Structure 1
Protein backbone atom coordinates (compact mmCIF):
# COMPACT_ATOMS: atom_id res chain seq x y z
CA UNK A 1 0.00 0.00 0.00
CA UNK A 2 1.44 3.37 -1.00
CA UNK A 3 1.71 6.28 1.41
CA UNK A 4 -1.08 8.10 -0.39
CA UNK A 5 -3.43 5.10 -0.14
CA UNK A 6 -2.50 4.69 3.51
CA UNK A 7 -3.19 8.39 4.19
CA UNK A 8 -6.58 8.11 2.46
CA UNK A 9 -7.39 4.98 4.47
CA UNK A 10 -6.48 6.80 7.69
CA UNK A 11 -8.67 9.75 6.67
CA UNK A 12 -11.57 7.39 5.98
CA UNK A 13 -11.20 5.77 9.40
CA UNK A 14 -10.89 9.19 11.04
CA UNK A 15 -14.06 10.49 9.38
CA UNK A 16 -16.09 7.42 10.33
CA UNK A 17 -14.60 7.04 13.79
CA UNK A 18 -14.84 10.62 14.95
CA UNK A 19 -18.37 11.06 13.65
CA UNK A 20 -19.75 7.88 15.19
CA UNK A 21 -17.84 8.51 18.43
CA UNK A 22 -19.33 12.00 18.73
CA UNK A 23 -22.83 10.67 18.10
CA UNK A 24 -22.43 7.81 20.57
CA UNK A 25 -21.03 10.20 23.21
CA UNK A 26 -24.03 12.47 22.64
CA UNK A 27 -26.49 9.63 23.18
CA UNK A 28 -24.64 8.34 26.24
CA UNK A 29 -24.86 11.84 27.73
CA UNK A 30 -28.65 11.62 27.31
CA UNK A 31 -28.80 8.17 28.93
CA UNK A 32 -29.44 6.31 25.67
CA UNK A 33 -27.55 3.03 25.50
CA UNK A 34 -26.81 2.57 21.80
CA UNK A 35 -24.15 0.72 19.83
CA UNK A 36 -22.43 2.12 16.78
CA UNK A 37 -24.51 -0.19 14.58
CA UNK A 38 -27.81 1.18 15.96
CA UNK A 39 -26.89 4.86 15.77
CA UNK A 40 -29.14 5.50 12.76
CA UNK A 41 -32.14 4.16 14.71
CA UNK A 42 -31.26 6.39 17.65
CA UNK A 43 -30.96 9.44 15.41
CA UNK A 44 -34.63 8.99 14.47
CA UNK A 45 -35.85 9.13 18.07
CA UNK A 46 -38.41 11.97 18.26
CA UNK A 47 -36.64 13.87 21.05
CA UNK A 48 -33.27 13.80 19.24
CA UNK A 49 -34.34 14.06 15.60
CA UNK A 50 -34.33 17.91 15.45
CA UNK A 51 -30.69 17.98 16.55
CA UNK A 52 -29.67 15.67 13.74
CA UNK A 53 -31.89 17.37 11.16
CA UNK A 54 -30.04 20.62 11.87
CA UNK A 55 -26.76 18.80 11.19
CA UNK A 56 -27.97 17.24 7.93
CA UNK A 57 -25.67 19.36 5.67
CA UNK A 58 -22.61 18.41 7.73
CA UNK A 59 -23.55 14.74 7.67
CA UNK A 60 -24.09 14.96 3.91
CA UNK A 61 -20.59 16.41 3.48
CA UNK A 62 -19.01 13.67 5.63
CA UNK A 63 -20.99 10.90 3.92
CA UNK A 64 -20.04 12.24 0.49
CA UNK A 65 -16.36 12.22 1.48
CA UNK A 66 -16.66 8.69 2.88
CA UNK A 67 -18.37 7.55 -0.33
CA UNK A 68 -15.71 9.13 -2.54
CA UNK A 69 -12.91 7.65 -0.46
CA UNK A 70 -14.54 4.25 -0.66
CA UNK A 71 -15.23 4.41 -4.39
CA UNK A 72 -12.32 6.39 -5.82
CA UNK A 73 -9.81 5.96 -3.03
CA UNK A 74 -8.79 9.61 -2.84
CA UNK A 75 -10.03 13.12 -2.13
CA UNK A 76 -8.78 16.50 -3.22
CA UNK A 77 -7.29 18.73 -0.54
CA UNK A 78 -10.30 21.12 -0.52
CA UNK A 79 -12.66 18.15 -0.14
CA UNK A 80 -10.59 16.83 2.76
CA UNK A 81 -10.72 20.23 4.44
CA UNK A 82 -14.49 20.53 3.91
CA UNK A 83 -15.13 17.06 5.29
CA UNK A 84 -12.95 17.67 8.36
CA UNK A 85 -14.70 21.00 8.97
CA UNK A 86 -18.00 19.14 8.80
CA UNK A 87 -16.72 16.63 11.38
CA UNK A 88 -15.61 19.50 13.64
CA UNK A 89 -19.04 21.10 13.31
CA UNK A 90 -20.79 17.81 14.15
CA UNK A 91 -18.58 17.33 17.20
CA UNK A 92 -19.07 20.92 18.38
CA UNK A 93 -22.87 20.98 17.90
CA UNK A 94 -23.33 17.63 19.63
CA UNK A 95 -21.04 18.77 22.46
CA UNK A 96 -23.23 21.88 22.89
CA UNK A 97 -26.33 19.70 23.20
CA UNK A 98 -24.85 17.16 25.60
CA UNK A 99 -27.28 15.83 28.17
CA UNK A 100 -27.01 15.77 31.93
CA UNK A 101 -26.50 12.01 32.31
CA UNK A 102 -23.02 11.17 33.47
CA UNK A 103 -21.56 7.73 33.98
CA UNK A 104 -23.25 5.52 31.37
CA UNK A 105 -19.91 4.55 29.85
CA UNK A 106 -18.49 3.82 33.32
CA UNK A 107 -21.58 1.75 34.19
CA UNK A 108 -21.11 -0.30 31.01
CA UNK A 109 -17.43 -0.82 31.82
CA UNK A 110 -18.30 -1.92 35.36
CA UNK A 111 -20.90 -4.34 34.00
CA UNK A 112 -18.36 -5.72 31.53
CA UNK A 113 -15.82 -6.33 34.31
CA UNK A 114 -18.48 -7.97 36.48
CA UNK A 115 -19.64 -10.26 33.67
CA UNK A 116 -16.07 -11.27 32.86
CA UNK A 117 -15.48 -12.18 36.51
CA UNK A 118 -18.04 -15.01 36.35
CA UNK A 119 -15.92 -18.16 36.68
CA UNK A 120 -16.16 -21.12 34.33
CA UNK A 121 -17.70 -24.22 35.86
CA UNK A 122 -14.97 -26.69 36.83
CA UNK A 123 -14.87 -30.19 35.41
CA UNK A 124 -15.60 -32.46 38.33
CA UNK A 125 -16.12 -35.75 36.49
CA UNK A 126 -12.41 -36.74 36.64
CA UNK A 127 -12.45 -36.37 40.43
CA UNK A 128 -15.65 -38.40 40.69
CA UNK A 129 -14.41 -41.13 38.35
CA UNK A 130 -11.02 -41.48 40.03
CA UNK A 131 -12.43 -41.43 43.55
CA UNK A 132 -14.99 -44.10 42.60
CA UNK A 133 -12.30 -46.24 40.98
CA UNK A 134 -9.99 -45.87 43.98
CA UNK A 135 -12.80 -46.66 46.42
CA UNK A 136 -13.61 -49.82 44.45
CA UNK A 137 -9.95 -50.77 44.55
CA UNK A 138 -10.10 -50.47 48.34
CA UNK A 139 -11.39 -54.05 48.35
CA UNK A 140 -7.93 -55.11 47.16
CA UNK A 141 -5.90 -52.88 49.49
CA UNK A 142 -7.24 -50.38 52.03
CA UNK A 143 -4.82 -47.47 51.19
CA UNK A 144 -6.72 -47.03 47.93
CA UNK A 145 -9.72 -45.91 50.00
CA UNK A 146 -7.62 -43.16 51.56
CA UNK A 147 -6.43 -42.04 48.10
CA UNK A 148 -10.05 -42.11 46.86
CA UNK A 149 -11.16 -39.90 49.75
CA UNK A 150 -8.32 -37.46 49.05
CA UNK A 151 -9.31 -37.20 45.37
CA UNK A 152 -12.98 -36.80 46.36
CA UNK A 153 -12.02 -34.07 48.86
CA UNK A 154 -10.03 -32.22 46.21
CA UNK A 155 -13.02 -32.31 43.85
CA UNK A 156 -15.35 -31.15 46.61
CA UNK A 157 -12.97 -28.30 47.45
CA UNK A 158 -12.92 -27.23 43.80
CA UNK A 159 -16.71 -27.31 43.68
CA UNK A 160 -17.10 -25.24 46.88
CA UNK A 161 -14.53 -22.70 45.68
CA UNK A 162 -16.45 -22.38 42.40
CA UNK A 163 -19.74 -21.88 44.28
CA UNK A 164 -18.21 -19.08 46.40
CA UNK A 165 -16.65 -17.34 43.40
CA UNK A 166 -19.89 -17.72 41.42
CA UNK A 167 -21.94 -16.18 44.24
CA UNK A 168 -19.52 -13.22 44.44
CA UNK A 169 -19.62 -12.78 40.66
CA UNK A 170 -23.43 -12.97 40.58
CA UNK A 171 -23.61 -10.32 43.30
CA UNK A 172 -21.19 -8.09 41.35
CA UNK A 173 -23.23 -8.51 38.15
CA UNK A 174 -26.43 -7.70 40.03
CA UNK A 175 -24.91 -4.53 41.51
CA UNK A 176 -23.50 -3.50 38.11
CA UNK A 177 -26.90 -4.05 36.47
CA UNK A 178 -28.58 -1.93 39.16
CA UNK A 179 -25.98 0.80 38.62
CA UNK A 180 -26.52 0.65 34.85
CA UNK A 181 -30.31 0.85 35.20
CA UNK A 182 -30.01 3.87 37.48
CA UNK A 183 -28.05 5.72 34.76
CA UNK A 184 -29.63 4.51 31.50
CA UNK A 185 -32.84 6.22 30.43
CA UNK A 186 -33.32 4.13 27.28
CA UNK A 187 -31.68 0.87 26.27
CA UNK A 188 -31.91 0.97 22.48
CA UNK A 189 -29.18 -1.67 22.12
CA UNK A 190 -29.36 -4.42 24.76
CA UNK A 191 -26.49 -4.01 27.21
CA UNK A 192 -25.24 -7.57 26.76
CA UNK A 193 -25.15 -7.12 22.98
CA UNK A 194 -23.29 -3.84 23.40
CA UNK A 195 -20.68 -5.49 25.62
CA UNK A 196 -20.11 -8.29 23.11
CA UNK A 197 -19.18 -5.83 20.36
Structure 2
Protein backbone atom coordinates (compact mmCIF):
# COMPACT_ATOMS: atom_id res chain seq x y z
CA UNK A 1 0.00 0.00 0.00
CA UNK A 2 1.36 3.43 -0.99
CA UNK A 3 2.04 5.89 1.86
CA UNK A 4 -0.55 8.34 0.48
CA UNK A 5 -3.22 5.63 0.70
CA UNK A 6 -2.30 4.89 4.30
CA UNK A 7 -2.74 8.58 5.16
CA UNK A 8 -6.16 8.58 3.50
CA UNK A 9 -7.35 5.49 5.40
CA UNK A 10 -5.92 6.31 8.85
CA UNK A 11 -8.64 8.79 9.94
CA UNK A 12 -11.38 6.38 8.87
CA UNK A 13 -9.79 3.57 10.87
CA UNK A 14 -9.50 5.81 13.90
CA UNK A 15 -13.18 6.77 13.66
CA UNK A 16 -14.27 3.15 13.29
CA UNK A 17 -12.32 2.20 16.41
CA UNK A 18 -14.63 4.38 18.46
CA UNK A 19 -17.93 2.87 17.31
CA UNK A 20 -18.17 0.96 20.57
CA UNK A 21 -17.79 4.05 22.76
CA UNK A 22 -20.60 5.65 24.74
CA UNK A 23 -23.28 7.36 22.71
CA UNK A 24 -24.14 9.99 25.30
CA UNK A 25 -24.25 13.55 24.03
CA UNK A 26 -21.22 15.61 25.05
CA UNK A 27 -21.72 17.89 28.02
CA UNK A 28 -20.26 21.28 28.83
CA UNK A 29 -20.45 23.42 31.94
CA UNK A 30 -22.03 26.82 31.36
CA UNK A 31 -19.53 29.29 32.80
CA UNK A 32 -22.24 31.78 33.74
CA UNK A 33 -24.51 29.48 35.72
CA UNK A 34 -22.23 26.56 36.50
CA UNK A 35 -24.93 24.23 35.15
CA UNK A 36 -24.14 21.30 32.91
CA UNK A 37 -25.60 21.69 29.42
CA UNK A 38 -25.78 19.11 26.63
CA UNK A 39 -24.15 20.25 23.39
CA UNK A 40 -26.74 20.20 20.61
CA UNK A 41 -25.80 18.20 17.52
CA UNK A 42 -25.83 19.84 14.09
CA UNK A 43 -29.01 18.95 12.24
CA UNK A 44 -28.63 20.01 8.59
CA UNK A 45 -27.18 17.38 6.27
CA UNK A 46 -24.27 18.79 4.24
CA UNK A 47 -22.14 17.13 1.57
CA UNK A 48 -18.34 17.45 1.92
CA UNK A 49 -18.02 18.36 -1.77
CA UNK A 50 -20.06 21.48 -0.93
CA UNK A 51 -17.37 22.56 1.54
CA UNK A 52 -14.55 22.29 -1.00
CA UNK A 53 -15.54 22.02 -4.65
CA UNK A 54 -13.40 20.60 -7.43
CA UNK A 55 -12.54 24.16 -8.46
CA UNK A 56 -11.52 24.97 -4.87
CA UNK A 57 -9.39 21.82 -4.70
CA UNK A 58 -7.64 22.74 -7.96
CA UNK A 59 -6.87 26.19 -6.57
CA UNK A 60 -5.52 24.77 -3.30
CA UNK A 61 -3.43 22.09 -5.04
CA UNK A 62 -2.29 24.39 -7.84
CA UNK A 63 -3.33 21.96 -10.56
CA UNK A 64 -6.44 20.51 -12.19
CA UNK A 65 -8.23 17.68 -10.39
CA UNK A 66 -10.28 14.70 -11.50
CA UNK A 67 -13.98 14.53 -10.65
CA UNK A 68 -14.57 13.81 -6.97
CA UNK A 69 -14.75 10.27 -5.68
CA UNK A 70 -17.39 10.00 -2.99
CA UNK A 71 -18.04 7.47 -0.26
CA UNK A 72 -19.87 7.33 3.04
CA UNK A 73 -20.17 5.37 6.29
CA UNK A 74 -23.53 6.10 7.88
CA UNK A 75 -22.69 4.05 10.97
CA UNK A 76 -20.38 6.92 12.03
CA UNK A 77 -22.18 9.71 10.13
CA UNK A 78 -19.27 10.22 7.73
CA UNK A 79 -19.28 11.38 4.10
CA UNK A 80 -16.05 11.63 2.10
CA UNK A 81 -15.07 13.59 -1.01
CA UNK A 82 -11.68 12.85 -2.62
CA UNK A 83 -10.03 14.95 -5.31
CA UNK A 84 -6.97 13.52 -7.09
CA UNK A 85 -4.77 15.53 -9.43
CA UNK A 86 -5.40 15.00 -13.16
CA UNK A 87 -1.66 14.68 -13.73
CA UNK A 88 0.43 11.71 -12.68
CA UNK A 89 1.44 13.55 -9.50
CA UNK A 90 0.45 12.20 -6.09
CA UNK A 91 -1.35 15.43 -5.13
CA UNK A 92 -4.78 14.97 -3.58
CA UNK A 93 -7.27 16.67 -1.29
CA UNK A 94 -9.65 14.60 0.78
CA UNK A 95 -12.55 16.19 2.67
CA UNK A 96 -14.38 14.12 5.27
CA UNK A 97 -17.46 15.46 7.02
CA UNK A 98 -18.94 13.70 10.03
CA UNK A 99 -22.36 14.91 11.12
CA UNK A 100 -25.09 13.75 13.46
CA UNK A 101 -27.78 14.36 10.82
CA UNK A 102 -26.31 11.50 8.72
CA UNK A 103 -25.55 9.10 11.58
CA UNK A 104 -27.48 5.91 12.21
CA UNK A 105 -29.72 6.08 15.29
CA UNK A 106 -27.77 5.28 18.45
CA UNK A 107 -24.45 6.26 16.87
CA UNK A 108 -21.68 8.13 18.64
CA UNK A 109 -22.21 11.91 18.58
CA UNK A 110 -19.93 13.80 16.23
CA UNK A 111 -18.41 15.88 19.05
CA UNK A 112 -17.49 12.68 20.92
CA UNK A 113 -15.73 11.26 17.85
CA UNK A 114 -13.73 14.47 17.45
CA UNK A 115 -12.81 14.59 21.15
CA UNK A 116 -11.67 10.95 21.13
CA UNK A 117 -9.43 11.60 18.13
CA UNK A 118 -8.06 14.78 19.68
CA UNK A 119 -7.29 12.94 22.93
CA UNK A 120 -5.63 10.05 21.06
CA UNK A 121 -3.40 12.45 19.12
CA UNK A 122 -2.47 14.41 22.27
CA UNK A 123 1.30 13.92 21.98
CA UNK A 124 1.35 14.08 18.17
CA UNK A 125 -0.79 17.10 17.32
CA UNK A 126 -0.36 20.81 16.70
CA UNK A 127 -3.36 22.86 17.79
CA UNK A 128 -4.46 25.45 15.22
CA UNK A 129 -6.16 28.75 16.10
CA UNK A 130 -8.67 30.50 13.85
CA UNK A 131 -10.13 27.44 12.12
CA UNK A 132 -13.60 26.46 13.35
CA UNK A 133 -14.37 26.14 17.06
CA UNK A 134 -11.17 24.17 17.49
CA UNK A 135 -8.72 22.43 15.20
CA UNK A 136 -5.45 20.53 15.15
CA UNK A 137 -3.04 19.04 12.63
CA UNK A 138 -1.70 15.54 13.08
CA UNK A 139 -1.10 12.42 11.01
CA UNK A 140 -3.81 12.32 8.36
CA UNK A 141 -4.41 16.05 8.07
CA UNK A 142 -6.32 18.80 9.81
CA UNK A 143 -9.12 17.91 12.19
CA UNK A 144 -11.76 20.59 12.77
CA UNK A 145 -14.80 20.87 15.02
CA UNK A 146 -17.22 23.61 13.96
CA UNK A 147 -20.78 24.10 15.22
CA UNK A 148 -21.42 20.38 15.73
CA UNK A 149 -19.76 19.28 12.48
CA UNK A 150 -16.43 17.44 12.42
CA UNK A 151 -14.33 18.07 9.31
CA UNK A 152 -11.12 16.22 8.47
CA UNK A 153 -9.04 17.27 5.49
CA UNK A 154 -6.06 15.32 4.18
CA UNK A 155 -3.53 16.48 1.59
CA UNK A 156 -0.37 14.44 2.17
CA UNK A 157 2.52 14.37 4.60
CA UNK A 158 1.70 16.74 7.48
CA UNK A 159 5.43 17.12 8.24
CA UNK A 160 5.73 19.11 4.99
CA UNK A 161 5.22 22.86 5.55
CA UNK A 162 3.53 23.29 2.14
CA UNK A 163 1.02 20.57 2.99
CA UNK A 164 0.37 22.10 6.43
CA UNK A 165 -0.32 25.49 4.84
CA UNK A 166 -2.67 23.85 2.31
CA UNK A 167 -4.52 22.14 5.14
CA UNK A 168 -5.02 25.38 7.05
CA UNK A 169 -6.16 27.17 3.88
CA UNK A 170 -8.55 24.34 3.05
CA UNK A 171 -9.81 24.23 6.64
CA UNK A 172 -10.63 27.94 6.69
CA UNK A 173 -12.38 27.60 3.32
CA UNK A 174 -14.40 24.58 4.48
CA UNK A 175 -15.52 26.29 7.71
CA UNK A 176 -16.52 29.47 5.85
CA UNK A 177 -18.62 27.45 3.40
CA UNK A 178 -20.09 25.36 6.24
CA UNK A 179 -21.20 28.57 7.95
CA UNK A 180 -22.89 29.77 4.75
CA UNK A 181 -24.68 26.42 4.21
CA UNK A 182 -26.17 25.93 7.67
Normalising to structure 1: TM-score of the pair? 0.24
Richer in helix (by share): 1
Richer in strand (by share): 2
Normalising to structure 2: TM-score of the pair? 0.26
Higher relative contact order (CA 8 A, sep 6+): 1
Q: Say which one has the larger Rg.
A: 1
